Amino acid sequence: MIKKELLVDLHMHTTHSDGELTPTELVKEAKKAELDIIAVTDHDTTEGIDEAKEAGEKLSVRIIPGIEISSHTENFETHMLGLGMNYEIKDFQDGLTNLRGARIQRIEKICNQLKKLGLKVEPEEVLGEAEGLSVGRPHVARVLLKKGYVNSVNQAFRRYLKYGAVAYVESQDFSPKQAINLIKCAGGVPVLSHPGLIGDDTIIPQIVGDGLMGLEVFHRYDKQSRCDEYLKIAKRYKLFITGGSDFHTLGDSKETAAQLGDITCPYEYFVEIEKNFSKV
């Protein structure tokens, strides 16, 4: 019998940030999608990883500890994946705690903006919508939807929450370099998330200069050719190559997300990046 190549997905979210499946449910769905190795990469929290590992042991799905840290340059929002950290390191967890504190402050500012527009959304309602420690704009969107202010989460983003929209508020002041350093302090490999959603490829060399080690080449872009472009860029700058679904929920209709199994990271690239994961 020919052994099938291992299927790897290095980007997904749980209820600990803005995903809608618990870590256990996520691992079960990953198994159904025949994935062998997955990285759990919640926004600014690693709270879901232990539960995912437990479920992964039962179902023979290998769990890579991951994170997706929000940061920005002067003009662009940049998300940084961290893979293979020893996530119990205190400095790393302290950094994440600060980032989540800034997320709560951001929600308060967004609610103020919405109030000015006549939409009554209290920060407490948004925090109540978040099941885990890491609250974000999708939770605001869900409250707007529940209250009937919008017809969909997508519409909430389009009208109010997306970059440049009326209730948009900048995320915490954290640069790509700071995100890279935080991931490295825990022995993880920093990988620039979905470069094709940033809007400017010229910032990639700049972030390489900050110590970037990998590029998320495979993501659900509108055109396959985008992946080819990023593959070339990754090779030019000698960056590790990764890919993942950025899964948030079943039946998700977001333009930028995919379902489990839709986008994977070729195993040959995983083997290379894995050599650099924290050994602890």
- Taking the C-alpha atoms of residue 92 and residue 85, their distance in angstroms, rounded to an integer, is 9
User: How near is the Cβ of 57 to ligand AMP at its closest, in Å?
Assistant: 28
Choose the binding region for ligand AMP from 50-58, 114-122, 130-138, 181-189 (rule: CB under 6 A). 130-138
Site string for ligand AMP, 157-176 (x = CB under 6 A): x----x--------x-----
Counting residues that bind Fe ion (by CB under 5 A) gives 4
User: How near is the Cβ of 15 to Zn ion at its closest, in Å?
Assistant: 12
Q: Does 79 bind Fe ion (CB under 5 A)?
A: yes
Residues in the chain, how many? 280
Radius of gyration, CA atoms only, the chain: 18
| Interacting residues of 215 by C-beta distance below 8 A, sequence separation 6+ | 191, 192, 195, 204, 230, 233, 234, 237, 239, 240, 241, 242
Q: Which is nearer to ligand AMP, 154 or 181 (CB)?
A: 154
Query: Which one of residues 193, 242, 245, 264 is an interface residue with Fe ion (CB under 5 A)?
Result: 193
Q: Does 18 bind Zn ion (CB under 5 A)?
A: yes
Q: Tokens 């309602």, residue?
A: 125
259 burial level (CB within 10 Å; 0-12, 13-18, 19+): middle
Of the CA atoms within 13 Å of residue 184, those in its CB half-sphere come to 13
Query: Which one of residues 138, 187, 243, 244 is an interface residue with ligand AMP (CB under 6 A)?
Result: 138
Q: Which is nearer to Zn ion, 183 or 233 (CB)?
A: 183
- Taking the C-alpha atoms of residue 152 and residue 137, their distance in angstroms, rounded to an integer, is 13
Count of other CB atoms within 10 angstroms of residue 255? 10
Q: Does 155 bind ligand AMP (CB under 6 A)?
A: no
Choose the binding region for ligand AMP from 90-98, 149-157, 205-213, 215-223 (rule: CB under 6 A). 149-157
User: 134, 158, 124, 154: which is closest to 142 by C-alpha?
Assistant: 154
Q: Does 16 bind Fe ion (CB under 5 A)?
A: no
Name the site residues for Fe ion (rule: CB under 5 A): 68, 79, 193, 246
Name the site residues for Zn ion (rule: CB under 5 A): 18
Name the site residues for ligand AMP (rule: CB under 6 A): 18, 43, 70, 136-138, 153-154, 157, 162, 171, 248, 254
